[in-house]
């Protein structure tokens, strides 16, 4: 009987111990899941003996159904009245103890809603991603090994993007497509809720075959900009090799541009999201300026700098090859974080003029020089050249000779009426105006002069043939930058018409412009108090060498009519012109004082019938003249129609 009692006692103790162990197991299966888990083997157990001298081994794979398998060993204190402590379990590798040779589970991300979500704090958005099954096993959205999307880095944690409709706090979605065979695509659709704090976030997910394995290459990264934080990727252009390029057909040129990283993400040359410069507007196309050294048809360069932290500068260097067809082009690029996003502020637009380099303008016997008032200024003037140039005063005293690309800075002191020249730290002072005289075929450039056409702000017409003079006009108390050059050279920079116009219209216009300029050279009264003949804005629009390069047809019209001018009774006369009429031109005396001038009388302008008058209305109507040329009228007929009783003579 005593033996039976001992047997019963032992049985009670065994049953009691079993119940306690079951309670411990139940505790771990029902409380909130552990933040991070390590799939272990017998050789890599996790043991914590700091709180108890009791150890037990419990398999908790049923708890950790998050895409990894294995036995998990934890240490618990033996006290049925106290909840056991949870030990910290480290992150598991993605493929946990499973050796895959033929890769039955493998994926490829083929599409996602967007790379970067811009969203207000606390707001929700529906997101979709599509993965291609590139493995050998069929995927299912149900069963023991259904395909799901879980958070990673580390796995098993609560996501900052968690939405109330997620099936688990670590799992945004189970695959929506029921069956996905190898080669087919599965859809994952889920909601995301933005955090309440305005900031930038990146969440990472991975595909999992439940209770089996992480799926290789099933990675999904989602960037979220909440509120209006500092952009994740942002740039600012700080320097480029050329503001615009002039290049001969078929030739190549090396271009460099530097961007500052003004975002919060470090840029890398070698990474999954390397920084590159791609064509845009539209993206993905082959550039007509593609050079054989480009890494892609649409990509001239990957960032040259290895690593660019926020606030640092990254350089991009690449070659451009001009097409064979002359013309005015604009190529557009933008920085990109590969496979992630276009970079805000990383825009680059390069105006490119493809043209045969103009021949030096030959001296013409009898051709006068003209002085053009480019602009008045109260600031310093900075001048350089693409070749050597001299600086002399107005008494022709040599002050200095400087090489190409050397910048001269001129300041005027009104207190003592002096001009100070600063070159490479050396300062010289003159009481006389300064003249910058090109040697040989040098083209001078006003480096701090902004003269951008409205249709393309990337162009800057700040280059000029001939001499540049800095002179103070006492009568008007203004400092002027003046361009002095031969009349035919001046006409090449007169931008009163586009290059695409009919040749007879261009010839008529250039003769009118030549005659208008010559008339004021001879009379010399319009701007004599400021020491120039015509200005560059109101008299005739003059943009200089840049326009000449963009308008070879206008240059040809000038060459074809060299020295030809409008005369009336053997005298060179004033020849105003304007945009369009309302059906008739105006006589001189209808608009201005003086006159009458018999060659400037009102004539019908049929092409403008029903239009509004644009301009003063005296002389040649540009719209009407273009219409006459398109109808086959020659340039002399056009001029003789709008300027009554005139002749066209070759003056030099």
Q: What is the DSSP string of 580-605?
A: B-SSB-B-HHHHSSS---TTS---B-
pLDDT of residue 92 exceeding 90, the answer is no
67: left (phi over 0), alpha (psi -120 to 50) or beta: left
The mean pLDDT value for 142-161 works out to 95
Q: What is the pLDDT of residue 456?
A: 81
Q: 273-331: per-residue pLDDT in tens?
A: 999 999 999 999 999 999 999 999 999 999 999 999 999 999 999 999 999 998 889 99
Say yes or no to pLDDT of 604 above 50.
Answer: yes
8-state DSSP, 53: S
Domain boundaries, the chain: 1-92, 107-226, 235-354, 369-379+448-650
CATH number of 235-354: 2.60.40.10
The reply to whether domains 107-226 and 235-354 share a CATH topology is yes
CA atoms within 13 A of residue 192's CA, in its CB half-sphere: 31
Residue 513: CB partners within 8 Å, gap ≥ 6?
Answer: 491, 494, 496, 540, 577
Beta strand 620-621 with 577-578: parallel, antiparallel or unpaired? parallel
Rounded Cα distance, 477 and 479, in Å: 7
Looking at residue 262, what is its pLDDT?
93
- Could you tell me the pLDDT band of residue 63, with boundaries at 50, 70 and 90? very low
> DSSP states of 465-505 as a string?
SSEEEEEEETTTTEEEEEEEEEHHHHHHTB-SS-TTS-HHH
How far, in Å, CA of 157 to CA of 613, rounded? 74
> Do 515 and 639 contact (CB within 8 A), yes or no?
no
Q: Enumerate helices (H) and strands (E) in the chain, giving the number of each.
A: 8, 38
* Model confidence at 451: pLDDT above 70: yes
The CATH number of domain 107-226 is 2.60.40.10: yes
Provide the pLDDT confidence category of residue 637 given band limits of 50, 70 and 90: very high
Tell me the Ramachandran region of residue 469: left when phi exceeds 0, alpha when psi lies from -120 to 50, beta otherwise.
beta
What distance in Å separates the CA atoms of residue 620 and residue 624, rounded to the nearest whole number?
8
Instruction: Name the more confident of 46 and 437.
Output: 437
| Coil vs helix vs strand at 382 | strand
Q: Which two tokens stand for residue 298?
A: 């649409």
Residue 65: HSE in the Cβ half-sphere, 13 Å Cα cutoff = 13
* CA dihedral sign, ordered 535, 438, 394, 368: negative
How far lies 542's CA from each of 136, 483, 548, 552, in Å?
71, 10, 10, 15
547: left (phi over 0), alpha (psi -120 to 50) or beta: alpha
DSSP for 306-359, written as a single string: SEE-TT-EEEEEEEEE--SS-EEEEEEEEEEETTTEEEEEEEEEEEEEE-PPPP
Residue 118: pLDDT band by 50, 70, 90 thresholds?
Answer: confident
Mean pLDDT of the chain: 87
Q: How crowded is residue 621: how many other Cβ atoms within 10 Å of its Cβ?
A: 30
The answer on pLDDT for 269 being more than 70 is yes
Distance CA 177, CA 390 (A): 77
Q: Are 563 and 364 in contact (CB under 8 A)?
A: yes
At residue 506, the pLDDT reads 98
CA angle 52-58-64, nearest 5°? 120
Q: How many residues does the chain have?
A: 652
Among 93-97, 263-267, 594-598, 630-634, name the one with the lowest average pLDDT: 93-97
Reference 582, options 557, 600, 604; nearest CA is 604
Give the pLDDT confidence score for residue 264 in this predicted structure.
86
- 567 sits in which H/E element: strand 564-568
- Digit-coded pLDDT (tens) for 333-376: 999 999 889 999 999 999 898 988 777 788 899 999 999 999 99
pLDDT score recorded for residue 12: 55
Q: Report the share of the chain in percent with pLDDT over 70.
A: 84
- Decide: 389 and 442 in contact? Cβ < 8 Å: yes
Tell me the per-residue pLDDT of 475-520, one tens digit each, with 9 for 90 and over.
999 999 999 999 999 999 999 999 999 999 999 999 999 999 999 9
- pLDDT recorded at residue 6: 53
pLDDT-derived band of residue 472, with 50, 70 and 90 as boundaries? very high
Q: What's the Cα-to-Cα distance from 308 to each of 271, 273, 274, 365, rounded to whole Å?
A: 13, 13, 11, 60
The pTM of the whole model exceeds 0.85: no
Asked whether residue 100 carries a pLDDT value surpassing 50, the answer given is no
List the single range of 218-232, 261-275, 443-457 with lowest mean pLDDT.
218-232
């Amino acid at each position: 009987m005593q033996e039976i009692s001992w047997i019963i006692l032992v049985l009670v103790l065994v049953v009691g111990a079993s119940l306690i162990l079951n309670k411990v197991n139940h505790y771990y299966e029902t409380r909130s899941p552990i933040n991070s888990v390590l799939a272990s083997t017998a050789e890599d157990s996790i043991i914590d003996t700091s709180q108890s001298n009791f150890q037990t081994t419990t398999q908790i794979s049923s708890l950790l159904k998050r895409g990894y398998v294995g036995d998990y060993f934890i240490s618990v204190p033996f006290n049925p009245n106290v909840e056991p402590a949870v030990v910290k379990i480290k992150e598991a590798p993605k493929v946990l103890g499973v050796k895959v040779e033929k890769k039955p589970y493998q994926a490829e991300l083929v599409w996602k809603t967007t790379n970067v979500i811009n969203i207000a704090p606390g707001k929700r958005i529906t997101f979709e991603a599509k993965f291609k099954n590139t493995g050998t096993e069929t995927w299912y959205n149900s069963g023991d090994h259904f395909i799901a999307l879980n958070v990673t880095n580390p796995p098993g944690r609560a996501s900052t993007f968690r939405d109330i409709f997620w099936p688990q706090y670590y799992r945004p979605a189970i695959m929506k497509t029921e069956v996905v065979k190898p080669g087919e695509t599965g859809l994952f659709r889920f909601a995301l809720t933005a955090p309440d704090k305005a900031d930038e976030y990146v969440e990472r997910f991975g595909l999992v075959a439940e209770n089996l394995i992480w799926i290789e290459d099933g990675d999904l990264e989602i960037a979220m900009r909440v509120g209006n934080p500092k952009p994740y990727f942002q740039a600012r252009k700080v320097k480029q090799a050329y503001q615009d390029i002039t290049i001969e057909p078929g030739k190549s040129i090396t271009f460099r541009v530097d961007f500052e990283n003004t975002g919060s993400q470090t840029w890398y040359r070698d990474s999954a999201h390397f920084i590159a410069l791609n064509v845009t507007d539209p993206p993905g196309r082959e550039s007509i300026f593609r050079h054989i050294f480009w890494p892609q048809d649409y990509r001239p360069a990957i960032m040259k700098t290895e690593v660019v932290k926020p606030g640092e500068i990254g350089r991009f260097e690449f070659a451009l090859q001009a097409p064979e067809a002359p013309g005015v082009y604009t190529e557009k690029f933008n920085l990109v974080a590969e496979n992630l996003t276009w970079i805000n502020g990383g825009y680059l637009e390069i105006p490119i003029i493809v043209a045969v380099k103009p021949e030096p303008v030959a001296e013409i016997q009898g051709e006068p020089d003209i002085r053009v008032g480019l602009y008045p200024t109260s600031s310093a003037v900075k001048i350089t050249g693409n070749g050597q140039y001299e600086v002399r005063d107005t008494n022709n005293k040599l002050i200095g000779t400087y090489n190409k690309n050397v910048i001269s800075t001129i300041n005027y002191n009104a207190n003592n009426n002096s001009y100070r020249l600063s070159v490479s730290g050396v300062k010289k002072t003159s009481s006389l105006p300064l003249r910058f005289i090109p040697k040989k075929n040098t083209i001078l450039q006003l480096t701090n002069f902004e003269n951008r056409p409205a249709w393309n702000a990337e162009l800057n017409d700040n280059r000029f043939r001939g001499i540049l003079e800095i002179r103070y006009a006492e009568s008007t108390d203004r400092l002027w930058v003046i361009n002095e050059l031969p009349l035919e050279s001046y006409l090449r920079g007169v931008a009163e018409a586009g290059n695409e116009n009919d040749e007879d219209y261009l010839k008529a216009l250039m003769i009118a412009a030549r005659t208008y300029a010559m008339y004021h050279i001879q009379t010399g009264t319009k701007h004599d108090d400021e020491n120039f003949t015509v200005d560059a804005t109101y008299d005739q629009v003059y943009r200089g060498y840049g326009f000449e390069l963009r308008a070879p047809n206008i240059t040809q019209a000038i060459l074809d009519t060299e020295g030809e001018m409008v005369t009336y009774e053997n005298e060179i006369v004033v020849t105003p012109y304007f945009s369009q009429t309302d059906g008739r031109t105006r006589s001189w005396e209808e608009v201005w004082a003086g006159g009458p001038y018999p060659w400037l009388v009102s004539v019908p302008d049929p092409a403008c019938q029903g239009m509004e008058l644009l301009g003063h209305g005296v002389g040649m109507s540009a719209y009407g003249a273009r219409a006459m040329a398109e109808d086959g009228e020659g340039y002399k007929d056009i001029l003789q129609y709008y300027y009554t009783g005139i002749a066209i003579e070759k003056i030099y």
